[in-house]
Chain A
């Protein structure tokens, strides 16, 4: 069975700083990997996804993530954060042969002006 670990419950950065949110997954096969964002009182929205090919994937609003198979990681990055990026970010994994998507516990990002 697949699982996801997001080790940082909260991250605080200043506006304009760079960002990395960590995600490690556990799955023996080829994973499908996702990052979702949740703004207050809303459902989750897809930021980016990785199925195969180039291990660096680009998402919306300048976010990107890199799939590193040797490290079982899929960290989310952004070069320069904006106050509007404050939200909760979820990493998720699914397997090609199942319909289950498993989520991490989320990282709450606070961007200080």
Chain B
């Protein structure tokens, strides 16, 4: 069974603070993705990766960085969090068919 684990599940951050969202997959997939989900927008792609050491910009990368230190791990970094980044963030792995984590609910106050 494919497994994607996100941490933390919930996070409250202050405006201007640094936030790191973590994702671990045991599927041995090369591709990993970060999406955010907002009402009326569905899922929007922030960053993705083809493998360890690679990161690519998705459709809405501004204000976010990504890091892929290993095949298993893919992080999303908000260097200076803003209230507009309050959202639910999903990590996924796979090629075409995606396997999703349970999501991280981030509130930036």
**How far apart sit A9 and B58, CA to CA, in the bound complex (Å)?**
24
Q: How many A-B Cβ pairs are below 8 Å?
A: 53
Q: Which of B31, B41, B42 sits near A99, CB closer than 8 Å?
A: B31
Query: Which of A14-22, A38-46, A64-72, A73-81 contacts the other chain?
Result: A38-46
Closest residue of B by beta carbon distance from A43: B100
- Count, chain B residues at interface, CB 8 A: 24
Judge whether A44 and B58 touch: CB under 8 Å: no
Contact across chains for B103 and A42 when beta carbons are under 8 A apart: yes
Taking the complex as formed, is A13 at the interface, i.e. its CB lies under 8 A from any CB of chain B? no
Known: A32-B96, A99-B31. A43 touches B4 (CB 8 A): yes
Determine whether the beta carbon of B98 is less than 8 Å from that of A105. Answer: no
Q: How far is the CB of B25 from chain A (nearest CB, A)?
A: 12
Chain B positions within 8 Å of A103 at CB level: 35, 42-44
Q: Is A104 in the interface zone, CB < 8 Å from B?
A: yes
Instruction: Kindly list chain B residues whose C-beta atoms are within 8 Å of the C-beta of A45.
Output: 100
* A43 & B41 in contact (Cβ 8 Å cutoff): no
Q: Which residue of B lies closest to A45 (CB)?
A: B100
Judge if B18 is at the interface, Cβ distance under 8 Å. Answer: no
Residues in A with CB closer than 8 Å to B58 are: 100
* Mask: chain A, 72-99; 1 = CB below 8 Å from B; 0 = not: 0000000000000000001000100001
Do B95 and A99 have beta carbons less than 8 Å apart?
A: yes
Q: Pull 13 A–B residue pairs with CB atoms less than 8 Å apart, ordered by A.
A: A6-B42, A9-B40, A41-B103, A42-B102, A43-B90, A43-B101, A43-B102, A46-B97, A49-B96, A100-B45, A100-B48, A105-B40, A106-B42
Residues of A within 8 A of B (CB): 6, 9, 32, 34, 36, 41-46, 49, 51, 90, 94, 99-106
Apart from A42-B103, A43-B100, A105-B42, list 8 A-B contacts with CB within 8 A. Answer: A6-B42, A9-B40, A42-B102, A49-B97, A90-B43, A100-B48, A100-B58, A104-B42
